[in-house]
């Protein structure tokens, strides 16, 4: 499995008017090693074409590249893996498409969903939204208590997502998250500076 890393950058055009290539390149230059391409607006053909371009950029930086929602597209562009939502293709079917060597992550919003994803062979789970988020309609914030509870019940990496920013990331890391997924808090303003500030906080927790 590709190293998950501690900061997962998620693309989001609603938070930033740069092209996907530009925002990804800036995050990679600042040190991110995990790119998750999320695009809810484009056609499948457009997602495929964009995925090819982003896969090449990520490879130049030796970074993992994950495609949201589409196992077939992820496989077609030789992405490192796919990230699925609760309404996407079931994990077992996605695994039959992707094979054992590709990463499959699942978004979860409850302890039951997290345990099920672990049982069914997910490589990691996203847990959230931890806090209120404007990036997508993800439901009621779950808070760090649920994050801590899930961390104690599963055996795979837990990635916290949803409304995480420079002010609250410490509480997420204290709750046991193996990684954090961030979109708007990186994309709002100077992408490279924001990324470095996130990584500095994360690194400080690693040495404690």
Residues 101-158: tens digit of each pLDDT = 999 999 999 999 999 999 999 999 999 999 987 766 657 888 999 999 999 999 999 9
- Give helix 20-29 / helix 191-206 axis angle, nearest 10°: 40
pLDDT at 1 over 70: no
Query: Quick one: pLDDT at residue 207?
Result: 61
Q: What is the pLDDT of residues 28-62, one digit of tens each?
A: 999 999 999 999 999 999 999 999 999 999 999 99
Nearest Cα to Cα of residue 196 among 7, 37, 24: 7
Nearest to 163 by CA among 126, 202, 130: 130
Report d(CA 162, CA 167) in Å as an integer. 13
For domain 7-206, the question of CATH label 3.20.20.70 is answered with: yes
- For the segment 73-96, what is each residue's pLDDT rounded down to a tens digit? 999 999 999 999 999 999 999 999
10 has pLDDT over 70: yes
Confirm if 125 and 153 have CB atoms less than 8 A apart: no
pLDDT reading at 206 higher than 90: no
pLDDT exceeds cutoff 90 at 162:
yes
End-to-end CA distance of the chain: 26
| pLDDT for the residue numbered 208 | 57
pLDDT at 2 (0 to 100): 43
What residue ranges do the domains of the chain occupy? 7-206
Per the CB < 8 A criterion, the answer to whether 75 and 103 are in contact is: no
């Amino acid at each position: 499995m590709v190293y998950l890393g501690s900061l997962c950058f998620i693309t989001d055009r609603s938070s930033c008017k740069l092209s996907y290539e530009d925002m990804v390149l800036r995050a990679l230059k600042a040190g991110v090693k995990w790119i998750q391409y999320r695009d809810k607006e484009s056609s499948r053909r457009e997602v495929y074409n964009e995925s090819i371009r982003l896969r090449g950029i990520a490879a130049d930086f030796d970074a993992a590249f994950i495609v949201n929602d589409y196992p077939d597209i992820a496989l077609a562009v030789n992405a490192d893996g796919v990230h699925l939502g609760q309404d996407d293709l079931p994990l077992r079917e996605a695994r039959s498409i992707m094979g054992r060597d590709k990463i499959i992550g699942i978004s979860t919003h409850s302890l039951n969903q997290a345990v099920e994803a672990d049982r069914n062979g997910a490589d990691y789970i996203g847990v959230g939204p931890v806090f209120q988020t404007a990036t997508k309609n993800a439901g009621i914030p779950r808070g760090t208590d649920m994050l801590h509870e899930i961390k104690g019940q599963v055996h795979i990496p837990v990635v916290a997502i949803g409304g995480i920013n420079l002010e609250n990331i410490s509480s997420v890391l204290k709750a046991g998250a193996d990684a954090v997924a961030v979109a708007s808090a990186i994309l709002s303003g100077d992408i490279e500076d924001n990324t470095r500030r996130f990584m500095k906080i994360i690194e400080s927790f690693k040495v404690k």
